[in-house]
Amino acid sequence: MPAKLILAEGSKELTANGGNRAYLLSSTIPNPSYPFPTLGTMKVYVKAGETIYVGSSAQGQGSGTINMRAPDGATFSSGISTIIGFIGTPAQELAGPLPNAGGYQAFTKTVGAGQEGIWEIDFISPTDGADVGGNPPAIPITAQWVQPNNRYVAAFDVSVRNSSNTAFLTGRVFTNVLSGILGTFNVGFNAILNILTKDGYRYKLDNNGQAGNGFTFFVNNKGFRNADGTPSYKSVDNTNNPNAYSPVNNDTPSDITHKIFFNAPSADLPASANTPGGGTTWLIHVPVVPALTNIVFTGADGRDGVAGTALPGGKIKFTATGNGTYAIAIDVNRNNVFTDAIDRQLTGTVNSGSNEVSWDGLDGTGNGVKPNAASYAINISVSLFAAEVHFPFFDVERNLYGILLTRTNGSNSPDNTIYWDDSDLTAVGVPSNPVKNITGLSSLLNGHKWGAPASNANDADDFGNERSIDTWAYVISPALNATVDIKVQSPDPTNINVPNIITPNSDGKNDVFEVKGIANYPGSRLLIFNRWGNQVYKSEDYHNTWDGTGLADGTYYYLLELNTGADKPTVHKGWIYINRR
């Protein structure tokens, strides 16, 4: 193949490795196979002076057109031409745009000053996204297609030509989510794609004959999540709104959608670029070294480095560069050994970004940690996952050969290790083997296979039917360790301010018996007596609410028992005058 024929990016890459044609979904109507549909949206990084060339098999067919959005908010459309922007044959798809020999006549747009960054391109179908029913015809990738009069696009291309108009550039085009359809259930999707992660790692993914008819393909940093937003590291037994962060949405500090490139990402990509709508997105980074920062303990009463007894415990806070696991130990007997029975052990999962681990103030035997003038040491041990990628597959009936995944940079690369856990899935058809792989297997030997060959092209009854199946990979860092010291103190019971007068006249001043500092002593008891020693008010957990309702103006006496966490409360007593005038 002449070199110039490899300088287009789009469906040519999806059809480069044999198998059947995967038509691109262009619709906003979701279903179990397409939980995150787009209008066939692709993204491309371009510099000022470069020119974007685009085309599709749907151009000028019914409502078929191509829409473009620039980072500065400008929009463009290829209109309804049946010539400009139209890809009519596999030969034109393979050749790419003119001036490549045998290429199609592209719709072009030269990038102006202030328009450098990410352009978004929608490939609109002949029905403008409406589903008129039925599958497109299943055809080999070399066969001449008939553009479906439906919400699918048979061929599409995005190419970038340099500013001197002498060559096309590759490694610029990517997408956040790729949704397609093969037309039947017993043929495979063979595309080889390149994954770029936010923390600077790269993977090459060979779909290797994945057979799901309609499919949604994207890559994120968590797969399917638990209710609290942490990664579950499990497949899900349905496709009914599984908890996965939408790849259509912008990233958050902890939920990241990685980028799917059609070729190896270009070396001249910047670290970040402007996007339509006024935002930015990340591109190429130097691989991030796993690290912990911003480590602090904050007591339940808000004091840094100090845990109280009236409000026991607090939060251990830290920032992590990736997902992972933590083991936190509190050396309660202060012997520099963190594994004694009395020492408190806390374990759990780490989120990329800010983390808070709650401690209830108890030791390893369930008793409260006692106040002491000496500090207690907290040891934090964290294993982080770098280069973490998850491949959630929706409604993929069978994956006969398993994906082939290779991490191409970073520690111990190239690395083919992958993981999965399908143990929550109902065992129908031919399950994965093993069903649970959390110690790691080489994808070259077992790329997470499931299902069996189907003699009936319409047979959807297999292990992946209407399931949400996750496969993941990562680099596990050596344990990162840090220590933070805390003090456990009883509140100072002398730091309490008790008033001697209240004026409950609804003027907002001194309307209630406000004991300043009482919030530090939950469970404190307040008793009020009249001048003859009769009890007129009682609260077992006082919250600054008594206003003398029902009592005449005059002098009364209080007994305040502060719950300091000690065996006996600290007692305050005195007089209080009610004056409503």
Q: What is the pLDDT of residues 487-515, one digit of tens each?
A: 998 777 777 889 999 999 989 899 999 99
Q: Which residues contact 506 (CB under 8 A, 6 or more apart)?
A: none
**Whether pLDDT at 550 is above 50:** yes
Q: What is the pLDDT of residues 261-278, one digit of tens each?
A: 999 999 999 999 999 989
pLDDT of residue 7: 60
In the chain, where does the domain assigned CATH 2.60.40.2950 lie?
292-385+480-489
Q: How far is CA 461 from the centre of its chain?
A: 31
Contact 145, 139 (CB under 8 A): yes
Which DSSP string do the residues of 316-381 spell out, in sequence order? EEEEESS-EEEEEEE-TT-SS-S-STTSEEEEEEE-SEEEEEEE-SB-TTSPBPPP-SS-EEEEEE
CA–CA separation, 382 and 478 (whole Å)? 8
Question: Residue 433's closest CA among 410, 457, 416, 451?
Answer: 451
Cis? peptide before 90, omega within 30° of 0: no
Distance CA 87, CA 147 (A): 10
Q: What is the pLDDT of residues 96-142, one digit of tens each?
A: 999 999 999 999 999 999 999 999 999 999 999 999 999 999 999 99
Examine the pLDDT at 2 and tell me if it is beyond 70.
Answer: no
pLDDT above 80 (res 458): no
Task: Band the pLDDT of 197: cuts 50, 70, 90.
Answer: very high
Q: To which residue do tokens 């009020």 refer?
A: 528
* DSSP conformation class of 305: T
Q: Which fold has domain 292-385+480-489?
A: Immunoglobulin-like (2.60.40)
Range 501-578: architecture per CATH? Sandwich (2.60)
What are the DSSP calls for 506-535, one per residue? SSSSS-S---BTGGGSTT-EEEEE-TTS-E
* Dihedral pair phi/psi, residue 394, rounded to 5°: -110, 125
Q: Which tokens is 79 given? A: 């209109």
Q: What is the pLDDT of residues 200-242, one digit of tens each?
A: 999 999 999 887 788 898 999 999 999 999 999 999 999 888 9
Band the pLDDT of 4: cuts 50, 70, 90: very low
CB 363 within 8 A of CB 330: yes
